[in-house]
Structure 1
Amino acid sequence: MKRAIISGLFKDAEHNAPIVQLLIENTNQAVHIWIGGCEAWTLGMTLEKVKLERPLTHDLLISVMRAFQAKPTRVTIHSLKHGVFHAKLFITKFGLPQDEDLEPTNLEVDCRASDGIIIAAKLNLPIYISSEVILETAIPIEVQKKITDEDQKFHEFLQSFNLEELKHHLEKEKADREEGGSFPDTFLEDDDPERE
């Protein structure tokens, strides 16, 4: 496993899909993961440190874990199966105050790569990527696309995002998938039962 940091969030102009870029520490390589529009917005707001009035789904999950004395410790992206990144969220579960004698329990929870990345961004957790995934998907930094007008438009999209736009984006994404999909055949983030 090698540690990675979130080094960018941009739009793939060819497939009209958001991408999160993970830079592999101490290398000149990065891994790109295509994610959904909702996840991109949430991650963008998190990276920009935008404070929202009400908790989002990932905030709720973090609050529930805290209520049950569970502390996320790291995220690993461990494999790529049928073009889908598989990840795990590692959690240390402590006993409740009345259960002082109980030893902490370490848990591994299966999760989507995007959800793990968002939780890691919110809690400043380390992200690790397996050597196998790096070998199969990493690209040299020199060939990564530079910031373009498309990237700037995507940044502006995140800044001006609202619920109506979210609804429109989700309906378009659903229609695209029903018509055969506009996402690339490899490196999709979300599990799709029809792909198996």
Structure 2
Amino acid sequence: MLEMKVKAVVASPMGEPVILLVDQEEKKVLPIVVGPLEAHNIALPLQGVNPPRPLTHDLLKSVIENMGGRVEKIVITDIRDNTYYAEIYINLDGKNLVIDSRPSDAIALALRCGAPIFMKTALVEFTYDFADIEHQLGEEP
């Protein structure tokens, strides 16, 4: 598995929101197209914005923590039919739970919990050189 981090949320050339996940060396990037609401939910913690009332991912974090659990990590696991899949790993009273998730929800939760983001090594073939993505955007994200 490769540890990744959210570099930015940007607009694709067609105007769709895209999450740019980069490896720790910022050489490889995995772009994940998401909807506008999902992009907003990921951008908020990146910008250090705390909404006055809890949003869905804030609520999920609160529920997990109030039950004595902790989000250990999230893993982008697969791509099928142009759809990415992810899993959320939660430790609850010494029991390890693995929850199926959309990558956008898993990433939004990980950012709020400070949990690491991983990508299965098999997905490397779907990554791009980060320098190429920067060039396509015309500026650094």
Check whether TM > 0.5.
Answer: yes
Would you identify which runs of 4 or more consecutive aligned residues in structure 1 move more than 4 Å? 146-152
Q: Quick check: which one's strand share is greater?
A: 2
User: Cα offset for 1:68?
Assistant: 1.2
Aligned to 1:59: 58
Q: Distance in 2 between matches of 1:112 and 1:131?
A: 18
Measured after TM superposition, the shift of residue 133 of structure 1 is 1.0
Aligned to 1:2: 2
Distance 2:81 2:55 in 1: 30
The gaps in structure 1 that reach 5 residues or longer are 95-103, 153-196
* Cα distance in 2 for residues equivalent to 1:132 and 1:18: 24
- Normalised by the size of structure 1, how large is the TM-score? 0.67
Could you list the runs of 5+ residues in structure 2 that have no partner in the other structure? none
Give 1:26 deviation, angstroms: 3.2
Q: For the Cα contact (< 8 Å) 2:61–2:112, is it kept in 1?
A: no
Partner of 2:81: 82
Structure (1/2) with the larger helix percentage: 1
Pairwise mapping of residues 16-165 of structure 1 onto structure 2 (< 5 A)? 16-26=15-25, 28-94=27-93, 104-135=94-125, 137-146=126-135
Q: Name the aligned partner's letter for residue 31 of structure 1.
A: L
Measure, in 1, the Cα distance between the counterparts of 2:55 and 2:92. 23
Q: CA contact under 8 A between 1:18 and 1:34: conserved in structure 2?
A: yes
Q: 1:72–1:90: 8 Å Cα contact kept in structure 2?
A: yes
- 1:11·1:150 contact (CA, 8 Å) conserved in 2? no
Q: CA RMSD in A?
A: 2.0
Structure 1 residue 33, shift from structure 2 partner: 0.2
Structure 1 residue 144 displacement after superposition: 0.8
- Secondary structure at the aligned position of 1:52 is classed as coil
Who is 1:156 aligned against? none
Q: State the structure with more CA Rg.
A: 1
Residues in 2 aligned to 1:65 and 1:27: alpha-carbon distance in whole angstroms: 31
- Contact 2:134/2:140 (8 A) holds in 1: no
Contact 1:58 1:118 in 2 (8 A): yes
**TM-score, with length taken from structure 2:** 0.92
| Structure 2 CA distance for partners of 1:50 and 1:3, relative to 1, 3 Å | same
| Structure 1 CA distance for aligned equivalents of residues 138 and 66 of structure 2 | 44
Q: Percent identity?
A: 23
AA aligned opposite 1:80: I
